[in-house]
């Protein structure tokens, strides 16, 4: 491992104020070195924690070595996962490579969420070695900022142990459009609740009043709120680029971001969407000066880093499929012209891109002033200094990483949150909690786990009870990448619904549905003996709840619609606008005959 540099220059002296260190380093940087800071690309870890030299396992064919040593880039987002020791070792190799460059600027390593049950590689990673918690929408079901703060503190400790210092989360969008595929990553539909939980999340990641060597910086997203998508389609794809506000609730979606800015968040990511029918320009938010400069910076007073969502400049391949740049509203511009437009809008950094060679000529030609580049690069360097990356936090200890990540205490805290987030929606005849070892027919759960709690039978007719685990329905979409974005209808197809109802009529059935979006299940709710909503709960945690070893404490973070007609009738930007949902926002029962309770906004 390369030893830490001595303070040969002022920027290397940790005793100096951050502003002085930034000014000194900026004065020593070439234009190419400055341009490299403004690109934040994705990178894969090599086998066993090695640096991957395979262009097939590289973002746009550019390896980490080429990004750091060739393109002077120092912001990388880790894709995929692995054992903690391997991630830590890989991180140290990345930092050794960076330390060998002319100025030795350390790498800021970022990540999408990786502590939940998500199965969408476009928005997050499976927990893997890290402790496993409910999805953010499940944390919202608990309505408890302290739980969110503990969760974020756990994320901080596990991330710092392996060298991950920038979280591309939390997601502060509001789940006001039930069909939107990214609902599970939100704190639900209520702006005040999302604001309180978002602040707790930021504070937990920070680990103190200000960013420091033991902090993880939060990049909140997706400004100005990515929830009100037309028909619930996602702007990763051209057919989902429109954000609409028929209810006139644009400002409602700003509330969590206002709270985050007041709490001192230092990084913000705008989404891909195009605002339709508002006072703002009808171009994607990453190119939208009226939103980034006019609203975010001038009105809301944010002076931190604005990093675009990934891949808005150049076309690219994902999972072997071609995808056009998400330059919605400015598709006619060349990549260089898109960079100009985003810089004019107020952007500091380009996510998912590795083309500083397009920026350098724009500066040399005078189209972009050097002072404009210095302004953004100064923000980015200041963040590195605050995080201690030039000093004691450049490297991590693989032994400590292995001992910290997935530690028993963190795992148990995650399992406890899984259990408490379970939302009891129906409990006919106080069926739950179960007693003894019932004869149980199981679908959708692991029989090996179930048999530790019950006698498992293969025929529902021979069972005392059935357990049926379901997931909110969705429409299968063409394309390998888009197939991970669960969108479209929220009700079960007729044939599948008929199969479910047969089981519910044969034997009293406990239905457990994973609410990654608000499911439309009126017939299932009517015929189920018990109905529970979950948001990321493993089988062990679920059975602990079913047998009364833990009590469900969750409350719905969004209403469950009664029909697809109700969904289509609703306004995508408006919370709880149905007059007669199947279950309202905040609904949740308790055991032992306690009444339903709701959480207010």
Q: Which residues are annotated as catalytic?
A: 309
No. of H helices and E strands in the chain?
Answer: 19, 18
Calculate the CA 402 to chain-centre distance: 24
Burial classification of residue 391, based on how many CB atoms lie within 10 Å of its CB (0-12 exposed, 13-18 middle, 19 or more buried): middle
Residue 110's nearest CA partner among 290, 298, 305 is 305
Q: How far apart are CA 548 and CA 239, in angstroms?
A: 46
Q: How far is CA 401 from CA 395, 441, 545, in A?
A: 11, 42, 32
Burial classification of residue 260, based on how many CB atoms lie within 10 Å of its CB (0-12 exposed, 13-18 middle, 19 or more buried): buried
Q: How many CB atoms lie within 10 A of CB 162?
A: 30
Q: Is 560 helix (H, G, I), strand (E, B) or coil?
A: strand
Q: How many CB atoms lie within 10 A of CB 361?
A: 13
541-546's contacts with Cβ under 8 Å and 24+ in sequence apart are 541/415, 541/418, 541/419, 541/422, 542/422, 542/445, 542/469, 542/512, 543/449, 543/450, 543/452, 543/453, 544/419, 545/419, 545/422, 545/433, 546/432, 546/433, 546/434, 546/453, 546/467, 546/510
Any idea what DSSP says for residue 581?
-
Calculate the CA 379 to chain-centre distance: 23
Q: How far apart are CA 461 and CA 145, in angstroms?
A: 45
Q: How far apart are CA 573 and CA 293, in angstroms?
A: 23
- Which residues are 583's β-sheet partners? 560
Residues 6+ apart with CB under 8 A from 561: 178, 490, 518, 520, 567, 570, 578, 581, 582
- What are 388's two structure tokens? 């201690």
**To the nearest 10°, the Cα dihedral for 292, 294, 295, 299?**
130
Q: How far apart are CA 381 and CA 102, in angstroms?
A: 16
Residue 515's nearest CA partner among 574, 473, 478 is 473
In the block, which residue shows the tokens 């015929």?
A: 527
Residue 341's nearest CA partner among 353, 327, 351 is 327
Q: How far is CA 293 from CA 104, 242, 243, 327, in A?
A: 32, 21, 19, 18
- Which residues are 441's β-sheet partners? 466
H or E, element range at 46: none
Q: Answer for the pair 305, 268: CB distance below 8 angstroms, yes or no.
A: yes
48 phi and psi angles, rounded to 5 deg: 70, 15
263 phi and psi angles, rounded to 5 deg: -80, 0
């Amino acid at each position: 491992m390369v030893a830490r540099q001595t303070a040969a220059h002022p920027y290397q002296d940790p005793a100096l104020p951050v502003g002085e260190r930034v000014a000194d380093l900026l004065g020593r940087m070439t234009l190419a070195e400055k341009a490299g800071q403004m690109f934040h690309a994705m990178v894969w870890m090599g086998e066993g924690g090695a640096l991957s030299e395979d262009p097939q396992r590289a973002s746009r064919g550019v390896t980490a070595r080429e990004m750091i040593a060739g393109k002077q880039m120092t912001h990388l987002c880790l894709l995929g996962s692995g054992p903690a020791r391997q991630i830590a070792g890989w991180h140290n190799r990345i930092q050794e490579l960076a330390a060998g460059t002319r100025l030795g600027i350390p790498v800021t390593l970022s990540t999408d969420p990786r502590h939940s049950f998500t199965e969408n590689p476009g928005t997050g990673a499976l927990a893997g070695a890290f402790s496993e918690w409910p999805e953010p929408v499940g944390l919202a079901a608990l309505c408890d900022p302290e739980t969110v703060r503990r969760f974020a503190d756990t994320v901080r400790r596990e991330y710092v142990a392996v060298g991950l210092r920038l979280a591309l989360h939390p997601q502060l969008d509001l789940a006001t459009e039930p069909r939107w595929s990214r609902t599970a990553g939100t704190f639900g539909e209520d702006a005040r609740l999302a604001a309180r939980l978002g602040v707790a999340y930021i504070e937990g990641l920070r680990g103190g009043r200000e960013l420091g060597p033991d902090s993880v910086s939060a990049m909140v997203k997706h400004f100005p709120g990515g929830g009100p998508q037309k028909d619930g389609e996602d702007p990763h794809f051209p057919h989902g680029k429109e954000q609409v506000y028929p209810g006139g609730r644009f400002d409602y979606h700003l509330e969590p971001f206002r709270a985050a800015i007041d709490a001192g968040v230092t990084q913000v990511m705008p989404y891909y969407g195009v605002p339709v029918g508002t006072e703002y320009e009808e171009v994607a938010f990453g190119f939208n000066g009226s939103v980034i400069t006019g609203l975010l910076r001038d009105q809301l007073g944010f002076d931190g880093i604005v990093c675009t969502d990934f891949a808005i400049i150049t076309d690219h391949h994902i999972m072997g499929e071609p995808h056009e740049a998400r330059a919605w509203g400015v598709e006619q511009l060349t990549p260089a012209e898109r960079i100009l437009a985003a810089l004019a809008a107020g952007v500091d950094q380009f996510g998912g891109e590795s083309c500083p060679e397009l920026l350098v000529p724009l500066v040399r030609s005078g189209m972009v002033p050097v002072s404009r580049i210095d302004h953004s690069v100064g923000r980015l360097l200041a963040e590195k200094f605050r995080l201690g990356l030039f000093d004691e936090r450049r490297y991590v200890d693989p032994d400590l990483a292995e001992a910290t990540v997935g530690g028993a205490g963190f795992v148990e805290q995650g399992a406890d949150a899984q259990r408490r987030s379970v939302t009891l929606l129906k409990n006919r005849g106080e069926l739950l909690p179960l007693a003894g070892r019932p004869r149980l027919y199981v679908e959708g759960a692991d029989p090996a786990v179930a048999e530790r709690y019950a006698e498992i039978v293969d025929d529902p007719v021979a069972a005392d009870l059935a357990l049926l685990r379901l997931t909110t329905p969705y429409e299968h979409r063409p394309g390998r990448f888009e197939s991970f974005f669960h969108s479209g209808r929220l009700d079960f197809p007729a044939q599948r619904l008929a199969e479910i109802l047969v089981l519910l009529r044969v034997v009293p059935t406990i239905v457990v549905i994973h609410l990654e979006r608000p499911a439309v299940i009126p017939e299932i709710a009517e015929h189920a003996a018990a109905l529970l909503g979950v948001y990321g709960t493993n089988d062990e945690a679920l059975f602990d709840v079913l047998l009364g070893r833990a009590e469900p404490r969750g409350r719905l973070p969004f209403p469950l619609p009664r029909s697809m007609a109700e969904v289509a009738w609703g306004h995508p930007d408006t919370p709880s606008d149905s007059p007669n949902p199947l279950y309202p926002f905040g609904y949740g029962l308790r055991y032992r005959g306690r009444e339903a309770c709701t959480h207010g906004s």
